[in-house]
Each structure stands twice: as C-alpha cells, then as structure tokens.
C-alpha cells in the first residue's frame, strides 16, 4: 500500500467513528445542538446573547437594566429627585413587574441616540425602551428583535412662527438642526432629495445641543419624531412662538427591542407589551384589576392568570400580567398619563388609539 492509500483508509475510519459518536441515532432526542435554528445566513455582526440567558441574568442580578433616552418629556425624563417617568419608563417598569412582581426593580441607563445600540449589543442593558424606530436594518443586520410598537410616530418639523413658514415645502435652502445616530437624519436626506430641495444640516450628538442651537436661531427648523417636537417645544424659551408644521415625512413605529437570539426573553418583552394593549381592549385597569380577577370572561381570566398556564409558558408566574397592570395600568392609562391630551404634551390618541376606536393598537390574543 502506498502512503496516500493509507492516509485515505485512516480518514475513512476516523470519519465513520466521528459519525457514530456525534450523529443522533434513530429516535435520538432532537436537541438545540442538532437543529440549526438560525438558518443558513448567519448574522454578520450580531449580539452575543446566549439563548435563554437574559431572564436568568436579570433574576440573578435582582433588577432590570433598561436603556432609556437622556431626557425626553413624556417618554423618559428624570425629575429633580432623579425619578424617571414617561411611556418608555413605564414600559421598563412593566417588564420589571412581569419578571419580579415589583416595578421598582429596574435601573435606568440614559443613552444618547448614537450609543443606544452598542449598549444593547454589549449586554450593558437587557432591554432598550427608548423611542427607537423599528426599521429593517436595526431588526436584521444590527442583530436586534423588536417587541412590537408602543407608539406610532412620524417625523415632522418645528419652526419659529416669525419666519412665516407654514409648510415643509417652504424649507428649500434651510438650515436644519437635528440629532446624530437617528432615523431623523436619514429621512431628512430622503425628503429633501425627493422634493428636489437643498438643505444644510446642523447635527449634534446631544439632543439638548441641537435643541438649543435651534432655540438660539442657528437653524431655521428643528426636526425629529412628531412626539419629540411636542415634547421639546415645551423646553424652548418661548414655546408659543414656535409651530409644528403639518407635514409628516416618515413612518416612525417606536418600540422596545432586545438582542436577537434569546427567544424566551423576546417572548417576555413582547407579551408584556401585548398584555398592556389587551388589558385596555378588555377594560382591565389599574383600579379594577383585583375585581376583574373574578370576572367570568375567559379572555380576562387568561390575561390575569386565573385560567390557563400562560405565565408558565414564558418562564413567569401565572399572575405576571396582573402584576404588570397593578404596577402601571393598561396601555391607554399609560398613554394618558404620559403624553395624552391632558398632559403638557397634549397629544391626541390618533394612530395610537385601539383598533376598535380607529387606531392601530392591536395585540394578538392570549390563548
């Protein structure tokens, strides 16, 4: 036998042994290791969450690390005692209530638009709840999963009334202030190109810088999500002297997101959002949740853990959603408390009304 033939035969023996030891035999259990769940196209630069580990990490740490914005009234804003409030903050509390039965078990990590994604990818935070637009690249190549939409928004412009500008069509040649690391910058480029108009951009990493640049008259207009315009108008020196233009130039579905690759954690975050919306849909409120636990409605019973094993299915206790509603109320209550018509922001429900009231808020059923 020559050397090449020997090498060939040895190769066959080693290969057969490897197949014998590593391939599952007939009837062998199919485990995560034997099933390719990610599909052939691996993510280029995705995050590193080990499957199923986030819940265990959060429990072991004893609190949720929730990424929020650095200060945006109605969404996530600290008061002078350092207490945070807003729709994004309430969602952090909701997830803490779902996991711990205690909405105070959360720490807020204020993040700029630019830093938010690295903080989530690196594992510094468990969840990003920071007026973040769900876009394809964020959902795919950046390696995240969005839980759903907590606020349907769109981008607009703010101008000084004294400029006489009443429509975005009059912004040709304007200097516009905005924040870096946002969809805002990209949409603005698309909009002006599409309209055949030119513009100059003054973009800052810190929002307070872009807003004060606008307030000081260094820009003709300020642009961001319409909710952000309503929120930030309040911070300007003379809010009444400014006007939100009628045009909405983009879709900004804002939602909480987590690292891709941890299906259980994604389920927890997603179903916390759905529980808030379903609670409003079913008339379950912070005030009536105890009473509702004795309701005969099967939908309400399943939501509140009086029937079925829905909490168990996501690694939580039966009353997880009841704990969420006890802590923060339903979606409508959160909306009204943070950004709604009776708050300083005064934003009507609009697209964020329930589906049965002409809006887009619709959650899959718990069953």
Q: Which residues bind ligand GSH (CB under 6 A)?
A: 69-72, 112-113, 131-133, 179, 182-184, 207, 224-225, 228, 252, 254
| CA angle at 188 for the pair 343 and 136, rounded to the nearest 5° | 85
What is the enclosing helix (H) or strand (E) of 227? helix 226-233
Helix (H, G, I), strand (E, B) or coil at 119: helix
Nearest approach, Cβ of 88 to ligand GSH (angstroms)? 9
Choice between 71 and 332, CB closer to ligand GSH:
71
Q: Are 47 and 265 in contact (CB under 8 A)?
A: no
Comparing CA positions, the residue from 207, 175, 363 lying closest to residue 277 is 363
Half-sphere exposure of 344 (CA within 13 A, CB side): 14
Choice between 54 and 187, CB closer to ligand GSH:
187
Residues 6+ apart with CB under 8 A from 19: none
Nearest approach, Cβ of 114 to ligand GSH (angstroms)? 9
Nearest approach, Cβ of 210 to ligand GSH (angstroms)? 8
Choice between 72 and 213, CB closer to ligand GSH:
72
Nearest approach, Cβ of 294 to ligand GSH (angstroms)? 41
Choice between 100 and 134, CB closer to ligand GSH:
134
Choice between 113 and 165, CB closer to ligand GSH:
113
Half-sphere exposure of 93 (CA within 13 A, CB side): 23
The residue behind tokens 């920071």 is: 130
Choice between 131 and 272, CB closer to ligand GSH:
131
Can you give the length of the chain in residues?
367
Nearest approach, Cβ of 302 to ligand GSH (angstroms)? 33
Question: Which two tokens mark 261?
Answer: 């690759």
Residues 6+ apart with CB under 8 A from 334: 87, 90, 91, 276, 328
- Other beta carbons within 10 Å of 109: 20
Choice between 226 and 316, CB closer to ligand GSH:
226
- Closest-approach residue to ligand GSH (CB): 228
Question: Which two tokens mark 269?
Answer: 């975050």
Q: What is the DSSP letter of 200?
A: E
Choice between 131 and 338, CB closer to ligand GSH:
131
Nearest approach, Cβ of 141 to ligand GSH (angstroms)? 15
Nearest approach, Cβ of 107 to ligand GSH (angstroms)? 17
DSSP letter for each residue of 309-357: SHHHHTTS-TTHHHHHHHHH--HHHHHHHHTSTTSSS----GGGSBGGG
Nearest approach, Cβ of 72 to ligand GSH (angstroms)? 4
């Amino acid at each position: 036998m020559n050397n090449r033939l020997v090498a060939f035969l040895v190769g066959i023996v080693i290969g057969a042994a490897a197949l014998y030891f590593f391939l599952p035999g007939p009837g062998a259990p199919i485990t995560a290791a034997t099933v390719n769940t990610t599909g052939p196209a691996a993510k280029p630069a995705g995050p590193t969450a080990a499957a199923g580990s986030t819940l265990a990490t959060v429990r072991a740490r004893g609190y949720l690390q929730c990424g929020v914005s650095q200060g945006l009234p109605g969404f996530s804003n600290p008061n002078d005692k350092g207490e945070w409030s807003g729709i994004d903050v309430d969602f952090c509390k909701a997830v803490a209530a779902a996991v711990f039965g205690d909405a105070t078990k959360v720490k807020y990590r204020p993040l700029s638009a630019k830093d938010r994604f690295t903080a989530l990818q690196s594992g510094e935070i468990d969840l990003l709840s920071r007026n973040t637009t769900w876009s394809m690249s964020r959902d795919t190549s950046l390696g995240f999963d969005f839980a759903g939409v907590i606020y349907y928004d769109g981008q607009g412009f703010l101008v000084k009334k004294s400029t006489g500008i009443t429509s975005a069509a009059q912004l040709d040649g304007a200097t516009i202030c905005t924040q870096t690391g946002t969809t805002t910058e990209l949409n603005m480029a698309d909009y002006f190109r599409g309209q055949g108009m030119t513009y100059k951009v003054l973009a800052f990493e810190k929002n307070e810088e872009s807003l004060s640049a606008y307030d000081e008259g260094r820009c003709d207009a300020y642009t961001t999500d319409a909710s952000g315009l309503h929120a930030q108008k309040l911070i300007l020196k003379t809010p009444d002297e400014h006007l939100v233009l009628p045009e909405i130039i983009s879709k900004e579905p804002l939602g909480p997101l987590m690292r891709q690759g941890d299906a259980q954690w994604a389920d927890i975050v997603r179903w916390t959002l759905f529980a808030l919306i379903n609670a409003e849909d079913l008339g379950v409120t912070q005030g009536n949740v105890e009473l509702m636990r004795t309701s005969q409605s099967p939908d309400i019973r399943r939501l509140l853990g009086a029937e079925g094993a829905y909490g168990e299915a996501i690694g939580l206790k039966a009353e997880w959603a009841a704990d969420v509603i006890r802590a923060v109320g339903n979606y409508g209550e959160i909306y009204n408390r943070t950004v709604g018509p009776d708050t300083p922001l005064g934003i009507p429900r609009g697209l964020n009304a329930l589906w049965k009231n002409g809006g887009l808020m619709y959650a899959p059923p718990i069953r």
